[in-house]
Structure 1
């Protein structure tokens, strides 16, 4: 039996959902997780000091990634069609791809994070973007 669902967009949804879980983990476990996942020493120190700002920023990012996961599932045909589906998937894909490549030329000037952090996180974002791009291309005609 052949599935009508787009497997790459389902993978994209799972990847974004995994990122949501990691962000929620940062909120729950605080400074050590902010450090491990490269949020920067400033975020870790604010969390240690009891500031709500790191949790709020991280929560907003998690919500955005959660919405992106839902859009990927809608594009894959798993859930009902969401508003502006084609446009949203194009923007989501573009953000992942741009984040994957745009930070690299500036990695030595960007925050206190190490070049290794920028290489790893950029590679992850680039992978997410390519998964979305190929999946989007496969369902493009269905999204009209």
Structure 2
């Protein structure tokens, strides 16, 4: 069931996840330069150059998860049909983005393969996506609860 008005916060969150998924697909399409630019590390770039399936498989998995997260955010926003376990999924997605945005920063020095700039930028992006999800989820929480009971 669609909301009367789609929640703009969750739409923004969904678009952010969709963009992240597309950028990951760009890494597959454009190879080593994109892996390097987006901070995947020299090892991933070299594996891509060597034709290893590893970077493609890992990147496809990440892109797939991000695409699913985008769909869940759009569903929570009321822009598309209600997906199963919507409330639980949105809570989990919000938590993962928040954890990734906050928890990764202390490990910057311990993970030297990726540049500190990668960790700071990706953490900031994840934190913003977590905030968008959290604000939107809070606004639609009652509706999601009511929608669960009405069947």
TM-score, scaled relative to structure 1: 0.96
Q: 2:135 is matched with which residue?
A: 134
Give the drift of 1:62. Answer: 0.5
Inter-partner Cα distance in structure 2 for 1:11 and 1:39: 25
Give the drift of 1:111. Answer: 4.2
Inter-partner Cα distance in structure 2 for 1:110 and 1:141: 41
Inter-partner Cα distance in structure 1 for 2:138 and 2:112: 35
Q: 2:75 is matched with which residue?
A: 74
Q: Does the Cα contact within 8 Å between 1:40 and 1:111 map onto a contact in 2?
A: no
Give the drift of 1:110. Answer: 1.6
Equivalent pairs counted in the alignment come to 142
Alignment partner of 1:38: what SS? coil
Alignment partner of 2:84: what SS? coil
Q: Which runs of 5+ in 1 are unaligned?
A: none
Give the drift of 1:139. Answer: 0.3
Q: Which runs of 5+ in 2 are unaligned?
A: 146-151
Give the drift of 1:71. Answer: 0.3
For residues 87-122 of structure 1, the C-alpha deviation after alignment (integer angstroms, 9 at most, x for no partner) is 000000000000000011111002411212111110
TM-score, scaled relative to structure 2: 0.92
Inter-partner Cα distance in structure 2 for 1:116 and 1:36: 11
Q: Does the Cα contact within 8 Å between 1:100 and 1:122 map onto a contact in 2?
A: yes
Moved over 6 A (4+): none
Indicate the RMSD between aligned Cα atoms, in angstroms: 0.8
Alignment partner of 1:81: what SS? coil
Q: Does 1:121 align with 2:130?
A: no
Q: 2:46 is matched with which residue?
A: 45
Q: Does the Cα contact within 8 Å between 1:76 and 1:139 map onto a contact in 2?
A: yes
